[in-house]
Amino acid sequence: MKKLRRVVVTGMGALTPIGNNLPDYWENLEKGVSGAAPITKFNAEKFKTRFACEIKNLDVSQYIDKKEIRKMDPVVHYALITADEAMKMSGLDLEKINKERVGVIWGSGIGGITTFQQEVLEFAKGDGTPRFNPFFVPKMIIDMTCGMISMKYGFMGPNFSVVSACATSTHALIDAFYYIRWGKAEIIVSGGSEATVNESGIGGFNALKALSERNDSPQTASRPFDADRDGFVLGEGAGCLILEEYEHAKARGAKIYAEIVGGGATADAYHMTAPHPEGLGARNVMKEALADAELSPDKIDYINVHGTSTPLGDIAELKAIQALFGEHAYRMNISSTKSMTGHLLGAAGAVEALACILAVYKDIVPPTINQFKLDPNIDPRLNLTPNVAQKRKVNYALSNTFGFGGHNASIVLKKFED
């Protein structure tokens, strides 16, 4: 049997509602900055929710040729922008690596919904004659994200997309981790992107009664674990990680930021949109991730929870943590960075994995902001890192993501040691 190989992180890229690059993203996480504000992308006056966590001050033409921009949906723009930042950070020399051993595994929960909406609206305005953009299908399909990244850099290794709603990019990272671990690739560009702040995105989630309607105070609307939470805040953006086989990274003198040591995937098998009330699937996926990493629960220092700010989800996840970790649950830090970024859906896992990597690298836990009044159903002994970042030694971090359809994914990140 082949020996499993170590997998490390050598590059990162972020495009988020609180920072258009990795340093700005981390700085605002540490400061506890909210990315929520009134929607600017369309007239939301008639919608129940009129705010979101949008990307701000982004000029896509600074990153992508103007002729190419119109051939892609924003979900692909975001992917390419973060991949570019991560590639530069990694220091990879495209002339010296074997591109047949470099892959791209990327995800999006919804994909090119902006393109789909635009094309359908244009068709509906007409006389029924089909006049569709020739790029309609390529712009819309989810796998175009990883396809375009591979074409830009010439990477010919494993290349596919993952879709599991809000667990998507965590599943993508786990798949990338396994491919390198098993010797199927040396390097994989992995992550997720999402671009759903539009009429159909906001309207669809409003119809589900999933979004906060706190229009009078957008910045305080995402409030995980708070007694007065009323739903999540929709976000957009992307996160990218360069995963690399340890010996390959070491041989080229790469800077290593963290190591991935385990992953887990389970299903609730319970409900289309609601979590299992006792967090059974969440407990099982964390248990699976720890077993894969060969860790006992007391080794985890920090959990970046799914923590969307929904009444049912937050409670179920904390129940799962207490059931699995027992007394150690009170010695860990727990936080939801969605309180700042909003919920990036399929991109959430990658963006939150970046938060975990930097927490491990810097020994700082980002906060859960907007903690005003703890839900009385939550054990007050849990350290939810309320409102202010906390310094502590973080050797191991766990990142949770859960998606509609009952999909659960957890990944374990470790402080790198040679």
The helix or strand, by DSSP H or E, that contains position 410, with its residue range, turns out to be strand 407-414
- Interval 76-126: pLDDT, tens: 999 999 999 999 999 999 999 999 999 999 999 999 999 999 999 999 999
Q: Does residue 3 have a pLDDT over 90? A: no
pLDDT tens for 178-228 read 999 999 999 999 999 999 999 999 999 999 999 999 999 999 999 999 999
Mean pLDDT calculated for residue range 261-290: 96
% pLDDT > 90, the chain:
99
pLDDT band with cut points at 50, 70 and 90 for residue 1: low
Residues 393, 23: Cα–Cα separation, whole Å:
21
pTM, rounded to two decimals: 0.97
Tens digit of each residue's pLDDT (9 = 90 or more) over 330-374: 999 999 999 999 999 999 999 999 999 999 999 999 999 999 999
Both tokens of 35, joined, read 């990315």
Is a pLDDT exceeding 90 seen at residue 418?
no
Place of tokens 């799914």: 306
Q: What is the mean pLDDT of the chain?
A: 97
User: What's the confidence (pLDDT) of residue 93?
Assistant: 97
DSSP sequence for 26-81 = HHHHHHT----EE--SS--TTSS--EEB---S--GGGTS-HHHHTTS-HHHHHHHH
Q: Using CA atoms, how far apart are residues 345 and 169, in angstroms rounded to an integer?
A: 9
Contact 377, 406 (CB under 8 A): no
Active site residues: 166, 306, 343
| Averaged pLDDT, 297-307 | 98
What whole-number distance in Å separates Cα of residue 317 and Cα of residue 300?
A: 16
Residue 5: which residues within 8 A CB-CB, separation 6 or more? 180, 181, 182, 183, 245, 246, 247
The residues, ordered by sequence, that sit 6+ positions from 216 with a Cβ below 8 Å of its Cβ are none
**Strand arrangement, sheet containing 7-15:** 159-162, 102-107, 187-194, 237-245, 7-15, 258-267, 407-414, 396-403, 302-304, 333-335
* Tokens describing residue 214: 């706190």
What integer pLDDT is reported at residue 2 of this predicted model? 72
